Chains A and B, each alone.
Chain A
Amino acid sequence: MSGPVRAMNMIQAINSALDLLLARDPDIVVMGEDVGYFGGVFRATEGLQKKYGKTRVFDTPITELGIVGVSVGMAAYGLRPVPEIQFADYIYPALDQLVSEAARLRYRSAGEFTAPITVRSPFGGGIFGGQTHSQSPEGIFTHVAGLKTVIPSNPHDAKGLLIAAIEDNDPVIFFEPKRIYNGPFDGHYDRPARAWSGHPEAEVPEGYYRIPLGTARIVREGNDVTILCYGTMVHVATSVVAEKGVDAEVIDLRTLVPLDIETIEASVKKTGRCVVVHEATRTGGFGAELSALVQEHCFHSLEAPVERVTGWDTPYPHSLEWAYFPGPVRLGEALRRVMEE
């Protein structure tokens, strides 16, 4: 069903998911700033307007609140909009339409109206984007009742998760780690950039498949410590673990809401130690939720305090990007501390 497999980078995988679903479901519309004729500033929608026409894939005015507000109305009509917010840093003007409208519509109308919208948006840093092209605002959305939040870490997952997100009947925030659009990134910014080709997760079926929301993936099995991570940080974690020779279990959460608590719980109960990693700022971040859940669900198995490795509680600085980014050194130190307990 999912057809032959082909090497794809993350952009191509996302494009493939959109292409497939546009062909399968006439209710799907793709829209956003520069996504139409040009195909998006990151090229994720390249060729789609030509193939599906201007009423299904189109450019929008530069008003994120308008893009999401219009999507809510289109969803009320019966369409399944997939708006793109060009950078996650631009999503805040749309917050009211996401938080008070899309997320609440099913509840407030007791199911009369729903908002099956998937908001795609590139997020995260490591590209010298400074404070307005680098943010990781997932914690704002995981805090909202009625929203799902999905973050892929590789081309294979990006396609399968995006298909599942678009077909989901609830609003989904789909954050794409733009640092790994073109290749995995282990945090060693001073080494040559790698491409996706040759990576096992870059082998992407050309056909239809979905990865259910709410299922984590164990990237590497291990016995001594559990690393909970998502997006770019998955690659940093696997790299550090290999470099340090730590027998860590690396879990790529893939979906933050709904969260795969079972996989987390089973792993931490086995290892007795846990490090939570994200690029977003620390205070009130999703790592705080993960840390609390691990404590609530696995308290009697824990042999060390849960460590958080995160971006600092500062804006993302342009020139000091790599001092901000929670890279191999910080994760390595956290692993050392947690293993010493």
Chain B
Amino acid sequence: MADEGPGRNLRPLTLHVPEPRFRPGDVVDFGDLHLPGAGETRRPPIDSAPADMRELCYQLVRVLDEEGRAVGPWDPKLAPERLLMMLRQMALVRAFDERMYRAQRQGKTSFYLKCTGEEATSVAAAHALHRDDMCFPSYRQQGLLIARDWPLVDMMCQIYSNAGDRLKGRQMPILYSAKEASFFSLSGNLATQCPQAVGWAMASAARGDTRIAAAWCGEGSTAEGDFHSAMTFAAVYRAPVILNVINNQWAISSFSGFAGAEATTFAARAIGYGIAGLRVDGNDALAVHAATEWAAERARNNHGPTLIEHFTYRSEGHSTSDDPARYRAADERSAWPLGDPIERLSGHVTRLGLWDAERQAAMERELAEQVRLAAREAEKQGVLGNGMHQPLSTMFEDVFEEMPWHLKEQARQMREEGEAAGL
């Protein structure tokens, strides 16, 4: 067949399957990564038409330069107290992650997931939003809760699924919910929160409210239909919403190329929808703050949604369930050209004369102690598997507002069978 018919002189097709640049054992060199310098990207007026600012989707909003100076039009000019508070909260997130990661390794819970290297994308964003702006996080935004002063013990009880867990031990660790902190219940399914955030923002706008919404998802999950539906709705109704894409380069073991990064940037997804897009150095807390503030002001003034790509790097594995050494080069983290967000902000406040290495070290010791004490407090209410869980009957509650007969019957069956078995 192949040498007959109309196709006989055509070249065979080939399928392109993306491959990351570095695998375990490779020498890492990010030298050819195109990174505009700090201060180089312009800051358009907040009411700019998306078509007039498309180039920002391919550049990088950066404020902190190599020497720790804040430069350029995006400098948010934050007060010293604000800078130090952001630094402290980012360091607290890291200390919290360290402690909870260890707790999982000690068998105190089933799962944990750090955000190491990405602390700025949550903490600095939270500082640029109002506390009652509604956040629809993904699973690596523990920094939002910490920046909103949410009690560590409450977070830990959730992670331990213990007797003190407000969510009654129903959710996997880190799938928090904190309505009082305007922090939406986390799903384990990816990008579902994107259209939900848009819906919340549409409702707020329809009601003449003043609050806006923000969602976070990873670059990998921008491939989900939910992300694209969210973009369509956000564009169509000019919803007051910020859609954050945390491009940390890796979705478990799949590099960003499997979400389309070989062809374009994630910020550039905004162009096709006619939405404002910004691409930001996610390891630069001042840039994250400035971009979020720009987008929030834009939304608050009815100029519509913004897509922000936070260009960052996932310094650790995806979670406690994977070993990154199996799929990526070991020194990617140290070679990452945009550094570490905590070190960079610490360097900035040091340069401003507000801070020094001694105070940084003392703060880190203090935060580690704070986290240790919180964990001790949480563990008094149990850890996963030690029996200090919620009463069995809670399993059937909250499926519906009122329990229908079939659930009552199943609850009774469980109780009776348990009793018959002497449990």
Contact = CB atoms under 8 A, between A and B. Distances in A.
A258 B406 contact: yes
Interface string A31-73: 0000000000000000000000001100011010110011111
A108 B398 CA distance: 8
Contact of B170 (A60, A79, A107, A214): A107
Nearest to A168: B401
Interface string B379-420: 000000000000000000011110011100000000000000
B177 A112 contact: yes
A77 B200 contact: yes
Nearest to A101: B192
B199 A71 contact: yes
Nearest to B188: A100
A125 to B, nearest CB: 27
Nearest to A111: B398
A61 B232 contact: yes
A105 interface: yes
A73 B185 CA distance: 11
Contacts of B335: none
Contacts of A146: 399-400
A250 to B, nearest CB: 23
Interface string A87-125: 000000100110011001111111111100000000000
Contacts of A97: 192, 195, 226
A70 B226 CA distance: 10
A258 B404 contact: yes
Given A77-B204, A108-B177, A96 B197 contact: no
Nearest to B229: A66
Contact of B404 (A61, A65, A257): A257
B175 A108 contact: yes
B175 to A, nearest CB: 7
B233 A66 contact: yes
A169 interface: yes
Contacts of A74: 199-200, 202-203
B166 A96 contact: no
B245 interface: no
22 contacts: A29-B206, A55-B206, A63-B232, A65-B229, A66-B195, A66-B233, A69-B195, A70-B202, A70-B229, A72-B199, A73-B198, A73-B202, A77-B203, A79-B203, A106-B401, A109-B179, A109-B185, A113-B177, A113-B179, A170-B400, A258-B405, A259-B406
8 closest A-B pairs by CB: A73-B199, A69-B195, A66-B229, A70-B199, A73-B196, A258-B404, A77-B203, A109-B185
Interface of A: 29, 55-56, 60-61, 63, 65-66, 69-79, 81, 93, 96-97, 100-101, 104-114, 145-146, 148, 168-170, 214, 257-259, 261
